Structure 1
Amino acid sequence: MRSLSYLLIGILFGITMFKSEAASWFRIYEMFKFDAFHMYGIIGTAVVLGVIIVQAIKRFKVKSFYGDPIQFEPKEKSVPRYLIGGFIFGLGWALAGACPGPMFTLVGAGYLPILIVIAGAVLGTWAYGLVKEKLPH
């Protein structure tokens, strides 16, 4: 039953991504050229909602679908790590025209060439696992 909940949440997320045009290559292109506010508005709204939801989870001690308490662990502050990771992520986003959420939305919308990008993302994740311990912390 929990899997059905996850599936329904994923479908709702995909519909929201598609209808808001957050999965649109043209909108992403506009954003990287600083030609339109559309994507910045979507990202800003997501950040604000994320902050509100995280604070609500902490304040009301919300539990997971499995009944476990949701805990937020502090991340280590490493500027080089985040700069390098952000650069690679942004470069991939600009080249592919999609970040991970919209990639799956585009598959669901029938844009099958994005499967090549998903294969590259999986390969990149696998490669990261191989070199993770050798990267700066």
Structure 2
Amino acid sequence: MENESHKKPPIESLKLTIISFVYAYRANILALIMGATFGFLMSHAGATTFDYHAKMFLFIDLQLMKVIGTAVVVAMIGVYLMKKYHIQAVTTGMEVDFVKKPYQQGLVAGAFLFGIGWAMTASCPGTVPAMLGEGKISALFTLIGLLLGTMAYGVLQSFIAHNGSYADTFKK
């Protein structure tokens, strides 16, 4: 027979379940809220509209360039302030660290390929999820291309790391 002292009223039990769920998944919930907000703001600014990308690359309408420039300035100020005041991460409580990455061979070629892909698809990797959220099915093909390109990069890096040996390229 069950111990009656361990039973809680259904409303209180539901309340405790929700509280424990939110506590356990607070980082994911925060990321979901921030991602949805970011996607909404990109959509509102026109960053998910193919025409704005095309007009930007043709130098007809620079609205999207202004949005990108504003984002860069805000990010620079934010990084400066986070470094100055040693800000801690919301979810982990650890100090936010900015590690400077060394220059890698192929960086210029990779940036060039990124720009070509951006111009061809009229979307950058950051806008693809927002475009999918708007129901733009063509963004699905861009997402597939991003995933295949990322996979190809990983395979190529592994191939180079193993001195051009195909035998070890696909092993863990």
TM-score by length of 2: 0.74
Structure 1 unmatched ranges of 5 or more: none
Identity in percent? 31
Does residue 66 in structure 1 map to residue 84 in structure 2? no
Task: Report the Cα distance in structure 1 between the residues aligned to 2:94 and 2:152, rounded to whole angstroms.
Answer: 32
Per-residue displacement from partner, 1:86-111 (whole Å, max 9, x unpaired)?
Answer: 11100110111100111110000011
Distance apart, 1:16 and its partner CA: 0.3
Aligned residues: 134
Name the SS for the 2:112 alignment partner. helix
Aligned to 1:6: 31
Aligned with residue 46 of structure 2, among 5, 10, 21: 21
Root-mean-square deviation (CA, aligned residues, Å) is 1.4
Aligned to 2:64: 39
Greater gyration radius: 2
Task: Report the Cα distance in structure 1 between the residues aligned to 2:35 and 2:100, rounded to whole angstroms.
Answer: 27
Structure 2 unmatched ranges of 5 or more: 1-25, 162-172
Aligned to 1:96: 121
Aligned to 2:12: none
Task: Report the Cα distance in structure 1 between the residues aligned to 2:79 and 2:66, rounded to whole angstroms.
Answer: 20
Per-residue displacement from partner, 1:30-68 (whole Å, max 9, x unpaired)?
Answer: 011011221110111011011001011101111112111
Task: Report the Cα distance in structure 2 between the residues aligned to 1:70 and 1:103, rounded to whole angstroms.
Answer: 27
Task: Report the Cα distance in structure 1 between the residues aligned to 2:108 and 2:147, rounded to whole angstroms.
Answer: 21
Distance apart, 1:82 and its partner CA: 2.6
Task: Report the Cα distance in structure 1 between the residues aligned to 2:59 and 2:108, rounded to whole angstroms.
Answer: 21
Shifted more, 125-134 versus 28-37: the winner is 125-134
TM-score by length of 1: 0.92
Aligned with residue 110 of structure 2, among 81, 85, 90: 85
What aligned pairs does 1:99-118 form with structure 2 within 5 A after superposition? 99-118=124-143
Task: Report the Cα distance in structure 2 between the residues aligned to 1:29 and 1:39, rounded to whole angstroms.
Answer: 10
Distance apart, 1:132 and its partner CA: 2.1
Name the SS for the 1:72 alignment partner. coil
Q: Which amino acid aligns with 2:156?
A: V
